[in-house]
Chains A and B, each alone.
Chain A
Amino acid sequence: MTNDFLKAFGLTIRDQIIMKNSVEIKGLGTFKAEHTSQQQERKGDGKLVMLPPKDSIEFKADMGE
């Protein structure tokens, strides 16, 4: 296992997530793109804040085998 591999590993998953694809890795789990649309939130101090939309990565483990 080389650094190149690890690097490519990260990049490949990243690219697929950016393309909104889910990536399933046997024995490890599934990476999924998750979009959160903008939303209002009331802060503790009573201020009303509009949160920007957000894309994020989600991981669901699959260590079954």
Chain B
Amino acid sequence: MLIDNEKFIALLADNSGIEKEKVEKYLEELISEMKSSFDEGEGYEVEGFGIFSKLGSNILFIPSDELETEINYKYVGMEPIELPGGAQQQEPEEPEEDDENPIQGILDGGKTEESEEYEDPFAELFNEAEEHEKAEKEQAEKGDLSEEEIEAVVEEEIESEDTEEIITEEPEKEEEPEEALEDTLKDIFGSDETEEETETEEEEPEPEEESAPGPENWGIDAHKEEEQEGAFSGLLGDAEEEPELIDEDDIFATEDEIASEEDVSEPEDEVSQEETVSEEENDEEIDFSALEDDSSDEDFDDPFDELIEEEDDDEDFVPVVTNVSSGKASKKEADEDKEEDEDEKTEKKSRTPKSPRDRKQSSPVFLYMILALVLLGGTGYLLAYFGVVNIEGITPSSVSTQVVQSNPPATQPESTPPQTADTEEEQPVKEVPTIEANNENAPNETEESTENSSDAESGITEEETPQNQENDIAPLVADEKAPGDGGIISPVNIQAETEVYGLNGTATEAGNNGYTIVLYTLSRKSGADTQFEKLSKEGFRVIIKEKPSQEFGRLYRVSIGQFESLADAAIAAEKVDSEILGNYIITKI
């Protein structure tokens, strides 16, 4: 409610007990006082009320605290409440690192926060908790590490530095390897001694390894370490000790683990290589070959490795022996030939019971394969949908192809000569009942019911569907739902001269496989008949189709024209007087 000046003065007079005239006078005084103080560049304060001040051409009113409180009396004392969950979002997220996998970025999309580990797009799909539990279990059962295991760890540390540029992880990972690297490099390169000697030397870094931040502190890395160790132990002959664990690993291995084992895989190569080397006393060359191995292995990858591995699970130390020869052979030619590496790799596959590297490397290839399949499927579907390829169930029966052709002679529908209206007028009444029985497809009906605002029938219930609004879209939707040709009621006038399709004239039976422009869907037969007569007189080809509807009982759909294609119908509809057309949809007859 607005209190205007007059009312305000009356109220003011009441409240203050001052006469109205005086109030008016005071008010004017007040305003002029304000103006003069504004002119002087000052504000004007009404005590207990607030301050008026001029800012540019505008006047600001700053209510006094008193006033503000009194106006806000309902909510006085309410303080802002800190909501839970607000602070969490502030937590810094671990920066995601780019991986060599080019798809990665795409697949990761917006899920970055959720995937703790760096590269796995499917991490969320698997239960990470389960994984952690498993890792802990392994850790617990594997109290002491065998020499081989320690070696594996050491090597792994070295390797991890190499791969850091590509796969960066938590910072701890970066720091540790450097120390370890020095030691182990010394061990590997600095000594030409026998196997025993190298072994003993390599044990030295062990304490350092152990003293490095324990698994508990490492967070995610901890699990990784454990898994890696497990994997190595299997490789190096300790498989008997915990074959079950490893199997479990294989079965439940998540993409995460597979990814995390990327580091492991490379060290493994070196380790096995190293053994062979020490046997042959040929250290340097072996190391080179190992490096070569790494790079090539990254490139070649067999998605079926896992299967092979599982079959070979029983093998223990044997594979290492075979590797010796292969390593030797490859050493000589490794520098130039990638194929060699491939061979070597395949040998390794057969010899290594469960090379974690193979497992992890299968993931990118699977990704590629899945992507390719999806793309193929998508293009196939699109081709079919747009009618390039005809696949039943996908290709929209006649729509797509005909729409593509489009541009049918626009004049065609119109050019058909108007048929004799007399015969038509009586047709629908007779024909309607015969068709009722066929049409049981109730759910479809409401979709097609339409309303015409110009409809004069008072007692007719009408419904309007959203389809009516979009002429381009509606027909497509309606078309999919058209339940075949059942239940068509149309005044069929078989005349040889009548064109099969057209807007005007008399409906033909042959034309019933086409499209029509639906103007009304009416609940009363009489209303439909009225419309039929009216439209027939206008020269249109009128079709009344009876539609059972669960909600509204029986509905009578009044439409005009028979068109071969959707496009024809749309073109014809554009030329029809909009008063007649109203809200229409185009649908299959």
Contacts and interface: CB of A to CB of B under 8 A. Distances in A.
A4 B46 CA distance: 12
Given A21-B2, A52-B75, A9 B49 contact: yes
A29 B562 CA distance: 67
B26 A1 contact: yes
Given A50-B80, A54-B72, A24 B49 contact: no
A15 to B, nearest CB: 8
B11 to A, nearest CB: 5
Interface stretch (B28-36, B147-155, B372-380): B28-36
Contacts of A25: 5, 8, 27, 31
B30 A6 contact: yes
Interface of A: 1-2, 4-29, 31, 33, 40-43, 45-57, 59, 61, 63
Nearest to B33: A1
Contacts of A51: 80
Contact of B12 (A12, A22, A50): A12
B75 A57 contact: no
Interface in B238-277: none
A23 B31 contact: no
A23 B6 CA distance: 10
Nearest to B18: A5
B60 A2 contact: no
B79 interface: yes
Interface residues of B, number: 53
B16 A7 contact: yes
B430 interface: no
A51 B81 CA distance: 7
A28 to B, nearest CB: 5
B3 A24 contact: yes
B82 A53 contact: no
A11 B1 CA distance: 18
Given A12-B15, A22-B1, A23-B3, A46 B67 contact: no
B5 A26 contact: yes
The A interface is mostly helix, strand or loop, or mixed, namely mixed
A33 to B, nearest CB: 7
Contacts of B466: none
Given A21-B3, A59-B52, 7 more contacts: A5-B18, A5-B26, A5-B30, A6-B30, A10-B67, A55-B75, A61-B59
Interface string B12-50: 100111100011001111110111000000000011111
Contacts of B86: 42-43, 46-49
Contacts of B47: 6, 10
Interface of B: 1-5, 8, 11-12, 15-18, 22-23, 26-31, 33-35, 46-50, 52, 58-61, 63, 67-68, 70-75, 78-83, 85-87, 89-90
30 contacts: A2-B18, A4-B17, A5-B26, A6-B47, A8-B15, A8-B16, A9-B30, A9-B46, A9-B49, A12-B8, A12-B15, A21-B1, A22-B2, A26-B5, A28-B31, A28-B34, A41-B80, A45-B90, A46-B86, A48-B82, A48-B83, A48-B86, A50-B82, A52-B79, A54-B72, A55-B71, A55-B72, A56-B68, A61-B60, A63-B35
A11 to B, nearest CB: 6
Nearest to B2: A22
B69 to A, nearest CB: 10
Given A9-B30, A9-B46, A14 B16 contact: no
A49 B82 contact: yes
A50 B395 CA distance: 53
B432 to A, nearest CB: 57
Contacts of A1: 26, 29-30, 33
Given A27-B31, A47-B87, A48-B86, A14 B8 contact: no
B3 A16 contact: yes
Given A28-B31, A49-B86, A61-B59, A10 B49 contact: yes
A8 B9 CA distance: 11
Contacts of B72: 54-56
A4 B14 CA distance: 12
Contact of B28 (A8, A27, A45): A27
Contacts of A45: 90
A31 B35 CA distance: 18
A18 B60 CA distance: 20
A14 B80 contact: no
Contact of A57 (B18, B26, B68, B78): B68
Contact of A4 (B16, B61, B75, B89): B16
A14 B30 CA distance: 17
A47 B5 contact: no
A6 B64 CA distance: 14
A12 B283 CA distance: 99
B48 A55 contact: no
Interface centre among B16, B48, B52, B58 (most CB of A within 10 A): B16
B19 to A, nearest CB: 11
A3 B530 CA distance: 80
B2 to A, nearest CB: 5
A5 B23 contact: yes
A46 B71 contact: no
Contacts of B73: 18, 55
A9 B3 CA distance: 13
A31 B49 CA distance: 12
A5 to B, nearest CB: 5
A12 B59 contact: no
A52 B74 CA distance: 11
A29 B89 contact: no
Contacts of B1: 19-22
B578 to A, nearest CB: 45
B71 A52 contact: no
A6 B71 contact: no
